[in-house]
Structure 1
Amino acid sequence: MSHPHRLRAAIRADGTTPLIGVFDMFSASVAAQHYDGMFVSGFGFAASHYGLPDIGFIAWPDIIAFVQRLRLAFPRQHLLVDIDDGYVDPETACHVVQSLEAVGATGVILEDQKRPRRCGHVDGKQVLPLEEYLEKLHKVLETRKDLVVVARTDATDEHDILHRAEQLAATDADVVLVDGVRSVEWIKRIRKVVGDKPLLFNQIAGGKSPRLSLGELSDLGVDVAIYSTPCLFAAHEAMDSALADLKAADGRLPEVDPASGVGVKASTSLLERNIARERLTPEGVGV
């Protein structure tokens, strides 16, 4: 079964499928120990790769190269990729979709924001005219062979949110995402207007949307949940704390508990799993 077919099967199954945001190969290595699916977050990638906020700095060749590395190291994971607005024009969007499909991506999210774009959970977002976005979306849908396509709107006007969600659900996109949903009541309203189309919900710490469990999301009819930043924010907090402790200790490293602590042995063991030969059975079949 192809990667996109596996994700579609997971979406059709009962419950809400979680996809964990990763921002580099190390965060992906940790996430793969806990979850079957990854989300290549634009927020995390802009922060990790460029040291910049998520406002449109990402260059599409960098995303493609990253996804290629992910697929080589994680042959069985769902890999849903944030491609922002398709990097402006429809031709580029289609080229990126073809390239990502060629390197093994499972799916992409295409948004309707206009430049300068913003993270979906901050103020100041502006959206393209609906017909302009739909034209781009249709070209992407015609270009993909099997790739899962998530149609995303960042509309903020209440009428526009529901209108766009309904229009996106009427396309051949596999899933609909309304980003920055502010309440459970709005999830219910969006679920109603998209009909039978699968629905995706984006949770980000400190963002505009309510913090909900997978069980709660499932009860609301949400089929997929992306967690954009838990790895990034945890790394931020842990690194800041570790370096503050190191400074306070006059540069003396802490003792590492061999049973539970992270040191050279634990990190090396984690990374060795990503070597191709380590993922093969004696018969040479990927596990």
Structure 2
Amino acid sequence: MSPIPKPLPPGTRLRHEVAAGDAIPLIGIYDTFSAGIAGRHFQGLFVSGFSFAASHYGLPDIGFIAWPDMLAFVQRLRVVLPHHHIVVDIDDGYCDAEVACHVVRQLARIGASAVVLEDQLRPRQCGHLDGKQVMELEAYLDKLRKVLACRGDMLVVARTDATDESEALRRAEAFAGAGADAILVEAVKSLSVLAEVKRRVGLPLVFNQIAGGKSPPATLTELRAAGVSLVNYSTPCLFAAQAAIDASMRDLLAADGRLPAVAPGQANVASCNRLLHQNLAGLPLPGI
């Protein structure tokens, strides 16, 4: 009887899919419940720092995230989503290189597929807002090389928040030279920039999309043509929840506190409970 082959580690699976040449969407989630919903439709999930700071602390994404909270969150995700790609935004590694390496080693043990390490100085900003400052290049490269040395099978996406295009390109080339697995130039204002980054570094590219951000909205087909391998949708779940909850509260006030009748397709206690029981069993990949 032939032995049952062992499943590939998460990072290795993601590497194989990236090598296949498709543009893989990664849906930004803000908690385990939103991950369960998004995971019914997409096999890639992005642990967005913006969404995490908002949902766990109710605060802006300017450096409040504590790394133990992030590790605990990713561990909960991996339990209910054992088969999905989970890409984790770790900001600057939460301080110095030693902390960054500890976090990366723990995420590798938990089963994260990839991490995104940025070159922003603290106090940091959302990548699509003004006021960003970046680290000295050599200081970031030192941290990047140490993180790469302890990543296990995970991918390490090196992200630059440089706002000057020539400086962003210079940093992307340096990141590639240091051995990064993929490159993210944040808040690019034109897809032509992505094509130029691809030409210079030859590595998989990551593109970050956020509603109201500085980058132009683009389809997966357009991004694939520009050489993008991973597409982060940072906040669709968070923003959808914000709008839906606000509308629901307004409706409840307007109806003098009477709950509306449940319309076809609308969430209710039965549909919510079904989702939670799917999570209990470990949500399968879409289509399985």
Which band: TM-score by shorter chain?
Answer: over 0.9
1:173 deviates by 1.4
Counterpart CA distance in 1 for 2:86 and 2:180 is 17
Q: How many residues align?
A: 278
Aligned residue type for 1:229? T
CA deviation vs aligned residue, 1:114-159 (integer Å, no higher than 9, x gap): 1101111000000000000000000001112211110110001122
User: What residue is the counterpart of 1:147 in the other structure?
Assistant: 154
User: What residue is the counterpart of 1:188 in the other structure?
Assistant: 195
User: What residue is the counterpart of 2:275 in the other structure?
Assistant: 270
User: What residue is the counterpart of 2:256 in the other structure?
Assistant: 250
User: What residue is the counterpart of 1:210 in the other structure?
Assistant: 216
CA deviation vs aligned residue, 1:181-205 (integer Å, no higher than 9, x gap): 11122222222222x2111000000
- Runs of 4+ in structure 1 over 6 Å off: none
Segments of structure 1 that go 5 or more residues without pairing to the other structure are 281-286
Matched residue of 2:116: which SS?
Answer: strand
Counterpart CA distance in 2 for 1:14 and 1:177 is 17
Matched, 1:45 2:48: no
User: What residue is the counterpart of 1:175 in the other structure?
Assistant: 182
Aligned residue type for 2:127? G
Aligned residue type for 1:266? S
Q: Equivalences for 1:1-287 in 2 at 5 Å?
A: 1-194=8-201, 196-257=202-263, 259-276=264-281
Q: Which has the higher contact order (CA 8 A, sep 6+)?
A: 2
Counterpart CA distance in 1 for 2:186 and 2:117 is 12
Q: Is the 8 A contact 2:43 2:84 kept in 1?
A: yes
Q: Is the 8 A contact 1:90 1:136 kept in 2?
A: yes
Aligned-pair identity (%):
56
Aligned residue type for 2:268? G
Counterpart CA distance in 2 for 1:36 and 1:202 is 17
Matched residue of 2:253: which SS?
Answer: helix
Matched residue of 1:71: which SS?
Answer: helix
